[in-house]
A and B are shown apart, each in its own frame.
Chain A
Amino acid sequence: MLPLMHLLEEVGGRLSGEWRVGRANPFTQRAVAACAGRETTAGVTLRIEQRRPRRRGGFRGRERHVRIIKDHCPSLARRQLAGNKGHLLVMPSPVRIGDQLPLQIACVETGQPGRPGAVARSVERMARKAGIGGASHAPAQRDQPACLGKLIGGTRISHGAASHARKCAGRHCRQQQTREPVHASGGTVRARPRFRFREPFAPTKGQGLADARILLPLVLAAGACVEAPDQRQFMPFADAARGERAIESAGCASCHTIDGIRWPQGRVGPRLQGFADRALIAGRVPNTPENLSAFVRDAPDLVPGTTMPAMPISEREARDIAAFLYRTQG
């Protein structure tokens, strides 16, 4: 049995009192998969936990969160803590999950606001369905990963995502196939951007808000095995925040308009946005972290004949810059 299935069960049974909404973030997914010793992210479940405010004293969500990250995802922690700190404040993570199944839990980036992707929308919908009117969610960083959302009711566990994940783990399958009997459906984001969710739980008579609370756990399983570009482009030892500073000190933006850099917005070279989704660098070489790091540092060496000059930056700065570019939106 895959850890994923354990997790689903644990969640369904034990953490019924908490509200949770979630989404899968490819960066995080990949990090968690790496920590769990897996090669692909198939079958790794991620969630954002949202504790119900002012209930039962509450735990120190933020501290826990930090601790969980530190204990189990050291490389990720560095990036997270150096980067956007806001997510630690708004999204505490529950204690028990973290303690019981540490490898399945990771911090989740809040992403850029104003860009809700397909994943985030589905979260909102699921949350509303479960009776959380004002459930907030982090907008998806990118709507690249195809996700299969499941609403788990009580002890009733669906193993659909897990079995699918096992089936195509390690493979690069573009089209999601699911064996879920009736309602289940899935699709890759690219192939079919609209999600439909299996909804085993429908509010019946007598199920008020109190009952609904038990049934709230919402899991977004990364069921489909489309390998999103930014999963390939996972850079555990690079720091995008440092990359931003390097971009400023090297003056990259004097030629490029870069998403996230306010000034300058050069128009000599191409706009740099949504770089994780690009297939090629400079129209020549495959877009991989190694190539991008090499290219931003010494472009003519990698792509002879390019106009972009070699830049006076270190290898580490080049990696950081690549990591920053992979986080650009658009």
Chain B
Amino acid sequence: MLEGWPPPVFDPAGPYATSITLLAWVLLAMSAVVLLVVLAALYVALFGNPRLRSRLGGTAVVWIGGIAFPVVVLTLLLFYGLSLTRNLSAPLHGDEMRVRVTGEMWWWRIAYLDGGGRPVVHDANELHIPVGRAVVLELESADVIHSFWVPRLSGKLDMIPGRRNLMRIQADEPGIFGGQCAEYCGGPHALMGFRVTAHRPEDYARLMEARIARESAVMSSSRGARLFHDAGCAACHRIAGTDANGLAGPDLTHVGSRRTLGAGILPNNRGTMMGWIGNSQAIKPGNRMPPYTVLSGDDLTALAAYLEAQR
């Protein structure tokens, strides 16, 4: 068997991706048929008997095969494709759950919005959604054009500075779906990934409840928190309930619960956390976090332990 088969684009996990995949297969089948017809014509032109060849070179074939056939087929295909994917562009009801995803160089800022469009929970690089429910994403960009793409849940949509593009995703089964920035956005563009986790509705409700509570909780001071502050991490990163409120980098309030680090590129464990803090430039060259070579081994361990506890 092929390894990595089917690729994510051919393995849809929700209604929006399904229609796109179906369209892709239809297009593929169609092109295969056309290719076969062309090859057959080519064969006849090269090796067929003279009668067939002269017929193939006639005006009728050009009119029918060269003009009428493509016009009809492509028109049909256009309407079929539009009707197949109309769920992608159907008007919003206005009561969907909304999440704002902002592309940054080179990570994703995520804010879960309440009914009034105000952010209630902040996160980064990992998106949690409930199963079986369309989630509307407000796609924005803070700097350059990025493109949001979770192949198993929907198509691509660009994140354009100054615009707010809306996109729907939906997962039918619980699972973890990989995503990737699909528009070149500078140096570490290839290392700008993310994860979408689909939870059962009750799990999702519990998760969000905990996170909303966490946003307003006040955390007691600890060695790790002091270190986080003293080393300067707090200038760029926010941890709710502490004096760390930087907004330049990803929100670390829930970093311990993430599956990945560095925007979907590393597994999240103590070791990778220390490696990332110590010298993230070696892992994701060009990213905006400087290497912290001033930290001692103990400091690194303490910081990683502190961040691990931010769940």
Contacts and interface: CB of A to CB of B under 8 A. Distances in A.
Contact of B276 (A254, A257, A306, A311): A254
Interface stretch (A134-142, A236-244, A265-273): A265-273
A257 B304 CA distance: 20
Contact of A254 (B275, B291, B301): B275
Contact of B266 (A251, A309, A310): A251
B300 interface: yes
Interface string B96-126: 0000000000000000000000000000000
B13 to A, nearest CB: 22
A265 B270 CA distance: 17
Interface stretch (B20-28, B53-61, B277-285): B277-285
Interface string B249-283: 00000000000010000110111101110110011
B278 A251 contact: no
Interface in B6-41: none
A83 interface: no
Contacts, number: 64
- Specify which of A249, A266, A268, A308 lies most central, judged by the most chain B CB atoms within 10 Å of its CB: A268
Contacts of B304: 309
A35 interface: no
B66 interface: no
Contacts of A285: none
Interface residues of B, number: 21
Given A255-B274, A307-B274, A307-B297, A265 B269 contact: no
B298 A250 contact: no
Contacts of A255: 271-272, 274-275, 278
A125 B148 CA distance: 59
Interface string B53-87: 00000000000000000000000000000000000
A311 B271 contact: yes
Contacts of A265: 282
Interface residues of A, number: 20
Given A250-B269, A309-B270, A268 B298 contact: no
A268 B266 contact: no
A252 interface: yes
A54 to B, nearest CB: 35
A264 B275 CA distance: 10
B145 to A, nearest CB: 25
Contacts of B301: 307, 309
A312 interface: yes
Contact of A307 (B261, B276, B298): B298
A264 B278 CA distance: 14
A305 B188 CA distance: 35
Contacts of A249: 267
Nearest to A248: B267
A309 B282 contact: no
B283 A266 contact: yes
A264 B274 contact: no
Contact of B272 (A254, A257, A308): A254
Given A266-B283, A267-B282, A307 B269 contact: no
Nearest to B267: A251
Nearest to B291: A267
B300 A250 contact: no
Contacts of B297: 306-307
Nearest to B275: A254
Nearest to B272: A251
Nearest to A249: B267
A257 B278 CA distance: 14
B267 A268 contact: no
B269 A268 contact: no
A312 B275 contact: no
A310 B282 contact: no
A250 B271 contact: yes
17 contacts: A249-B267, A252-B271, A254-B261, A255-B274, A255-B278, A266-B275, A266-B283, A267-B282, A268-B275, A307-B297, A307-B301, A308-B271, A309-B269, A309-B270, A309-B274, A309-B301, A309-B304
Given A250-B271, A269-B275, A309-B270, 9 more contacts: A249-B267, A255-B274, A266-B282, A267-B279, A267-B291, A268-B274, A307-B297, A309-B269, A310-B270
Interface of B: 261, 266-267, 269-272, 274-276, 278-279, 282-284, 291, 297-298, 300-301, 304
